A and B are shown apart, each in its own frame.
Chain A
């Protein structure tokens, strides 16, 4: 079965510093998509970044970037210049044609 594992239930970062959230997944598929979603206390899920498995180049969205290691089935999220508004639950997700899985989430705290 396809699974998504986020091994860090909680992470903390100082404002303006950089933090990396880990995600690994297990799949036998060759074609899939990976996502990071952010869920602030308002509980609205917001897409942060996505990565197509067939692309070797790591996706980047402003302060957010990923380190996609396909052979290792790893998909970590790096947040640079952390801001107070980045505090939220972050979910890693995996998508194929017939399946969608989410990790259990990492709670990120940003310290002023």
Chain B
């Protein structure tokens, strides 16, 4: 079946512009995660959606970052007034949440964001 998809695969923008990154999770997956991966680094958790619950925004680095998930499916990560330090690969993952934290996350291919 189809995996997690993300668009665009690459995005180049100018400092100060807003960008939107899209994630289509695996159909039926109730949980969705956004991560940021800077060059040569591990994954930094940004935000987590689970069903209709309020998202866990504890990882968002600043108020320039926001995300929404419409209809419990597609998610959009928005970065306002982009800065050069926002340049990174943004990864989305989804999982079929099971009570007790037994989910396995499946990752999309990521969006490489370059802020000039």
Q: Which positions in A face B, CB cutoff 8 Å? A: 31-33, 35, 37, 42-47, 50, 52, 91, 93, 95-98, 100-105
Report yes or no: B43 in contact with A91, Cβ–Cβ below 8 A.
yes
A47/B106 contact (C-beta < 8 A), A102-B42, A104-B42 known: yes
Chain A residues, CB < 8 A from B56: 98
Q: Does B107 contact A (CB under 8 A)?
A: yes
Selected interface stretch from B14-22, B70-78, B79-87, B96-104: B96-104
4 new A-B contacts, CB < 8 A, other than A43-B112, A105-B41, are A35-B104, A44-B107, A93-B43, A97-B100
A43 touches B109 (CB 8 A): yes
- Most chain A CB neighbours (cut-off 10 Å) among B89, B93, B100, B108: B100
Bound Cα distance from A93 to B43, whole angstroms = 10
Specify the chain A residue showing the minimal Cβ separation from B44.
A102
Q: Report the minimum CB–CB distance from B19 to chain A (whole Å).
A: 18
Subset of 10 A-B contacts with CB under 8 Å: A43-B110, A44-B107, A47-B104, A47-B106, A91-B43, A95-B101, A100-B33, A102-B42, A104-B41, A105-B41
Chain B: which residue is nearest A44 at the CB level? B109
| Among A37, A42, A96, A103, contact of B101 (Cβ-Cβ < 8 Å) | A96
Cβ–Cβ contact A33 & B89, under 8 A: no
- Residues on A with beta carbons closer than 8 Å to the beta carbon of B48: 100
Assess A100 versus B102: contact at CB under 8 Å? Given A43-B89, A45-B93: no
- Cα of A2 to Cα of B48 in the assembled complex, Å: 17
Tell me the complex Cα distance, A5–B51, Å: 31
Q: List the A side residues contacting B42 at CB < 8 Å.
A: 91, 102-105
Instruction: Determine whether the beta carbon of A33 is less than 8 Å from that of B45.
Output: no
Name the A residues within 8 Å of B110 (CB-CB). Answer: 43-44
